[in-house]
Amino acid sequence: MTAALRPELPALMVEDQVRAALLEDLGRAGDITTLSTIGPEMTATAGMNARDPGVVAGLELARTAFRLVDPSIVFEALVADGDRVAPGTAIARISGRARGLLSAERVGLNFLMHLSGIATYTATFADEIAHTRAKVCCTRKTIPGLRALEKYAVRLGGGSNHRYGLDDAVLIKDNHIAVSGGVAAAVHAARAYCGHLVKIEIEVDGLDQMREALTAAPDVILLDNMGPERLREAVAINAAHWQLGGDAYAADPRRTRLEASGNVKIDTVRAIAETGVDYISTSKITMAAPTLDIGLDVAIKR
């Protein structure tokens, strides 16, 4: 990932997240194991190394954990967020007072391993569909309190973000449609309420619903639990509605975008992407991602 495309996290948000995690871990009395066994003037060096292949995410959170515990600790990142690493790759070098280094270790690694796991798992999906125009997207199924961080990791892995919350985009689902009086009516109601700067997406479970939705020109139509054959038909219907074909269909900014969801797995995502849909949303890249194994080897100087 190039530096120009690499996402960034606001420093204030990073510090608040890490501070809360440290307070949770250190509790009322601090790291009593380290305080009782390590002298206050002892120093240490540590190497942070990847044990599995993956995509790194969360270095600034790890750095902040050590800084908040002991501002004198030096954290030197040897790679950048978004970099792909092989087993054995040195990720960071850390040096300073041993007490602070040991007390911050777990929180720093927790953030780094969790976010790197999400970035890595997202990359497996993104790599699988790289030959298509489709983008894999995360959902709002995230660990409470960590959504912005997890969505950051998804972007580092080559994925795209769906809406962050209920307030930044409209997603009309079956219950909204039932109360609103129909697919097109729901889209028109949302457009009137939100204005022209808010994206509007509507979920449909059949092609007849999709045709009705197109008459209201939503920004995105979510095609729920449709297999590849029906997805290809949906793409054809969309192209015919907008009177576009070939490269013009892919590039035209006016047309409704199509998103597929349901039964998205690493062994199905390629076939879904090859139907011509624009987006593929799945909770798996945040909720089912294993952590990336990263070790911290500490040497204490006596």
Position 5 in a domain = no
From 19, 93, 140, 141, active-site residue:
141
The pLDDT, as a whole number, for residue 2 is 63
The pLDDT, as a whole number, for residue 81 is 97
Contact (CB, 8 A) for 202 and 172? yes
Tens of pLDDT along 145-155? 999 999 999 99
24 part of the active site: no
Kindly state the average pLDDT of the residues 210-215.
97
Q: What is the pTM of this model?
A: 0.94
Rounded percentage of the chain residues whose pLDDT exceeds 90: 91
Kindly state the average pLDDT of the residues 20-30.
97
173 part of the active site: yes
Reported as a pLDDT band with limits 50, 70 and 90, residue 4 is low
Q: What phi, psi does 167 have (nearest 5°)?
A: -105, -5
Position 117 in a domain = yes
Q: Are residues 277 and 141 in the same domain?
A: yes
Kindly state the average pLDDT of the residues 189-197.
94
CA nearest neighbour of 211 among 250, 248, 241, 253:
241
CA nearest neighbour of 13 among 205, 186, 129, 147:
147
Tens of pLDDT along 239-296? 999 999 888 999 999 999 999 999 999 999 999 999 999 999 999 999 999 999 999 9
Kindly state the average pLDDT of the residues 182-188.
94
From 19, 84, 93, 106, active-site residue:
106
Q: Are residues 72 and 137 in the same domain?
A: no
CA nearest neighbour of 62 among 157, 154, 149, 158:
149
Contact (CB, 8 A) for 208 and 230? no
Q: Are residues 294 and 280 in the same domain?
A: no
Q: Are residues 137 and 20 in the same domain?
A: no
Contact (CB, 8 A) for 104 and 68? yes
Q: Are residues 136 and 114 in the same domain?
A: no
Position 283 in a domain = yes
CA nearest neighbour of 54 among 297, 295, 298:
295
Position 6 in a domain = no
In angstroms, the CA 79 to CA 67 distance is: 19
Position 158 in a domain = yes
167: DSSP letter = T
Q: Are residues 112 and 151 in the same domain?
A: no
Position 143 in a domain = yes
Tens of pLDDT along 66-109? 999 999 999 999 999 999 999 999 999 999 999 999 999 999 99
Q: Are residues 297 and 256 in the same domain?
A: no
Kindly state the average pLDDT of the residues 188-196.
94
From 93, 140, 173, 257, active-site residue:
173
Position 189 in a domain = yes
CA 84 to chain centre: 16
Mean pLDDT of the chain: 96
Q: Are residues 191 and 210 in the same domain?
A: yes
The SS3 of residue 301 is: strand
Q: Are residues 213 and 274 in the same domain?
A: yes
Q: Are residues 155 and 261 in the same domain?
A: yes
From 81, 203, 212, 259, active-site residue:
203
Residue 176: give the domain boundaries: 127-287
Query: Residue 26: what residue type?
Result: L
Q: Are residues 97 and 221 in the same domain?
A: no
The pLDDT, as a whole number, for residue 302 is 72
160: DSSP letter = B
The pLDDT, as a whole number, for residue 3 is 63
Q: Is 298 left (phi over 0), alpha (psi -120 to 50) or beta?
A: beta
C-alpha distance from residue 30 to each of 40, 104, 297 (Å): 14, 11, 22
Domains held by the chain: number? 2
Q: Which two tokens stand for residue 211?
A: 């045709």
Report the 10 Å Cβ neighbour count for 239. Answer: 18
Position 165 in a domain = yes
The pLDDT, as a whole number, for residue 269 is 98
Counting other chains too, the contacts that 204-211 makes at CB distance below 8 Å and 24 or more residues apart are 205/174, 207/233, 207/234, 207/237, 209/183, 210/234, 210/237, 210/238, 211/237, 211/241
Kindly state the average pLDDT of the residues 27-44.
96
From 15, 25, 205, 224, active-site residue:
224
In angstroms, the CA 142 to CA 148 distance is: 9
Residue 16's CATH number:
3.90.1170.20
Residue 172's CATH number:
3.20.20.70
Q: Are residues 16 and 120 in the same domain?
A: yes
141 part of the active site: yes
The pLDDT, as a whole number, for residue 278 is 98
The SS3 of residue 287 is: helix
In angstroms, the CA 231 to CA 15 distance is: 43
